[in-house]
């Protein structure tokens, strides 16, 4: 059987991987999800894997099955691809975050939809395709066991197109339930762990110096993390992953992470407002300890990339300038800015449905204001987000951040990695046209209007506006 697996890309990013920088490579990490699906496929099947940021889709290819994975922002492109192959009579199965939470919508563009992780149902999908029938929704009875997972099929990708093919996953699931995040709904709120020996064996098999852990919170189980880091020390790798700032409270764990080669952590700081953190279920973040925690990580040669979200209820037009100043004070090394986005599968999606203005899924990429914020206008939210991103990645600021590293343990050695990542984000600023403006001086008085309408949750059609209500005046307009 000939199988085509596709990771779609938006028109903005399609083919960008062909323009290589940084020693002939794009600063892009390989996608582990489809590599894992390929690993769960019998070896005698013929698999072609397409990452649309790097490759062109073989539209005229003779395939027996097309599998497509997508997040919400890429759902329209995934549906477009699926419809085109189905028009040729080729069965299509959709999976990933968006098809999981919008399964009936996805089924309108596919012969089958995988709800949740694929490993538990993939063999059944393949069997049904061979028999010429598909049952529609495929849902595993239980989360996949991580014991004895086959190695991802990295050989299916062109290594020249990526900063590294060495993406590794040791755990799945997240013990936290942040309102705006779908990870715990998709992968479970109980963390599942691979045997440390299996993880070490996989890392040992990878050539080169660098490894990227794609876990959502590798240090959630500190005992497991200690064992893993201890076993990694002899491998002499450098690695990065995601964590929470709580890791900095455990000095022994930080020391082990550094000894095992940790050079960077992505940490969801999200906001400097305690009120916002409490409102979205992330009280684990302690604003008063941000600076101390980051300094401790820096003292061990570990950089910090901060996830920052704008658009919470307590955010006003002044939040952007305040956030930029505070980011400088706590000395984060990179930021990934997002506009609060009510993704399907999150509590935010249910809570914010009355405020959603834009039902075009392609705009649900964390860089578009798709809802009416409480403390500012959508235009201010968009402009402020773009402005912070543009300002943080000014070349002069990047230079200052590189100079700071000279004082760190391993600081000079890790400058090439840090500089490459900063320049990659700077390139994204240029590519996306981020500039914006600081909306803080504006005297505009914002009043949020509530859109009471019926979303057709299984279609891509905009909601029909039934009632518009101005909260401040109580004025109502039927429509």
Does 152 map to a domain?
Answer: no
- pLDDT of 447: 56
Determine how β-strand 449-454 pairs with β-strand 65-69. Answer: unpaired
Query: In this structure, are 420 and 458 located in the same domain?
Result: no
Task: Examine the fold and report which residue of 139, 158, 190 is the final residue of a domain before the chain moves on.
Answer: 139
Query: In this structure, are 203 and 286 located in the same domain?
Result: yes
Does 444 map to a domain?
Answer: no
Q: What is the pTM of this model?
A: 0.89
Does 174 map to a domain?
Answer: yes
How many separate domains does the chain show?
3
Query: In this structure, are 242 and 307 located in the same domain?
Result: yes
Q: Which domain range does residue 73 map to?
A: 2-139
Show pLDDT as tens, one digit a residue, over the chain (479 residues): 999 999 999 876 665 555 444 444 555 666 899 999 999 999 999 999 999 998 999 999 999 999 999 999 999 999 999 999 999 999 999 999 999 999 999 999 999 999 999 999 999 999 999 999 998 999 998 888 999 999 999 999 988 778 788 999 999 999 888 999 999 889 988 999 999 999 999 999 999 999 999 999 999 999 999 999 999 999 999 999 999 999 999 999 999 999 999 999 999 999 999 999 999 999 899 999 999 999 999 999 999 999 999 999 999 999 999 999 999 999 999 999 999 999 999 999 999 999 999 999 999 999 999 999 999 999 999 999 999 999 999 999 999 999 999 999 888 999 998 999 999 999 889 888 888 999 986 544 555 656 554 454 544 333 322 223 333 233 223 33
Query: In this structure, are 339 and 407 located in the same domain?
Result: yes
Does 359 map to a domain?
Answer: yes
Task: Examine the fold and report which residue of 86, 121, 139 is the final residue of a domain before the chain moves on.
Answer: 139
- pLDDT of 61: 96
Query: In this structure, are 242 and 373 located in the same domain?
Result: yes
Residue 315 near residue 376 (C-beta atoms within 8 A): yes
Does 105 map to a domain?
Answer: yes
CA distance linking residue 256 with residue 265, whole number of Å: 14
Query: In this structure, are 95 and 240 located in the same domain?
Result: no
Q: What are the backbone angles phi and psi of residue 338, rounded to the nearest 5°?
A: -140, 150
Q: Is 111 helix (H, G, I), strand (E, B) or coil?
A: coil
- pLDDT of 28: 62
Does 440 map to a domain?
Answer: no
Query: In this structure, are 260 and 392 located in the same domain?
Result: yes
Cα dihedral sign, 111-122-361-423:
negative
Q: Is 450 helix (H, G, I), strand (E, B) or coil?
A: strand
**Of residues 261, 434, 414, 412, the one with CA closest to residue 335:** 434
Does 34 map to a domain?
Answer: yes
CATH number at residue 115: 3.40.50.280
- Residue-wise pLDDT for 282-308, tens only, equals 989 999 999 999 999 999 999 999 999
Does 98 map to a domain?
Answer: yes
């Amino acid at each position: 059987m000939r199988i085509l697996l596709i990771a779609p890309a938006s028109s903005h990013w399609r083919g960008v991987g062909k323009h290589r920088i940084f020693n002939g490579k794009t600063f892009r990490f390989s996608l582990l999800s489809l590599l894992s699906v390929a690993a769960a496929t019998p070896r005698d099947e013929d698999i072609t894997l397409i990452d649309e940021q790097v490759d062109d889709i073989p539209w005229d290819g003779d395939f027996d099955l097309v599998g497509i994975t997508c997040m919400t922002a890429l759902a329209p492109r995934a549906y477009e691809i699926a419809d085109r192959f189905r028009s040729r009579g080729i069965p299509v199965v959709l999976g990933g975050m968006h098809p999981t939470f919008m399964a009936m919508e996805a089924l309108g563009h596919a012969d089958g939809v995988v709800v949740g992780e694929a490993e538990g149902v993939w063999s059944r999908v393949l069997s049904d395709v061979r028999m010429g029938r598909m049952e529609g929704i495929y849902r595993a009875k239980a989360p996949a066991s991580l014991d004895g997972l086959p190695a991802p099929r990295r050989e299916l990708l062109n290594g020249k197109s990526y900063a590294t093919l060495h993406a590794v996953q040791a755990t799945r699931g997240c013990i936290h339930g942040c309102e705006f995040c779908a990870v715990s709904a998709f992968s479970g709120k109980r963390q599942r762990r691979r045997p440390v020996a299996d993880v070490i064996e996989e890392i040992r098999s990878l050539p080169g110096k660098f490894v990227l852990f794609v876990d959502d919170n590798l240090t959630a189980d500190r005992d497991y993390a200690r064992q893993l880091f201890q076993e990694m020390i002899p491998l002499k790798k450098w690695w990065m992953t995601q964590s929470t700032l709580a890791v900095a409270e455990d000095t022994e764990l930080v020391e082990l992470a550094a000894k095992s080669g940790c050079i960077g952590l992505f940490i969801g700081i999200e906001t400097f407002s305690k009120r916002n953190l409490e409102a979205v279920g992330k009280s684990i973040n302690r604003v008063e300890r941000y600076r101390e925690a980051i300094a401790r990580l820096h003292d061990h040669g570990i950089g910090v990339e901060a996830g920052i979200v704008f658009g919470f209820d307590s955010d006003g037009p002044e939040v952007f300038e305040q956030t930029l100043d505070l980011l400088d004070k706590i000395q984060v090394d990179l930021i990934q800015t997002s506009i609060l986005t009510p993704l399907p599968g999150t509590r935010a999606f249910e809570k914010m449905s009355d405020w959603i203005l834009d039902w075009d899924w392609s705009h649900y990429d964390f860089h578009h204001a798709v809802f009416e914020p409480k403390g500012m206008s959508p235009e201010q939210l968009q402009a402020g987000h773009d402005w912070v991103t543009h300002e943080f990645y000014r070349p002069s600021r990047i230079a200052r951040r590189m100079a700071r590293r000279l004082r760190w343990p391993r600081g000079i050695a890790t400058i090439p990695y840090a500089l490459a990542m900063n320049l990659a984000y700077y390139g994204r600023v240029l590519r996306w046209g981020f500039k914006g403006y600081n909306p803080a001086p504006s005297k505009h008085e914002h009043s949020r209007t509530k859109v009471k309408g019926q979303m057709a949750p299984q279609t891509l059609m905009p909601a029909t506006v039934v009632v518009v209500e101005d909260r401040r005046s109580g004025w109502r307009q039927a429509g």
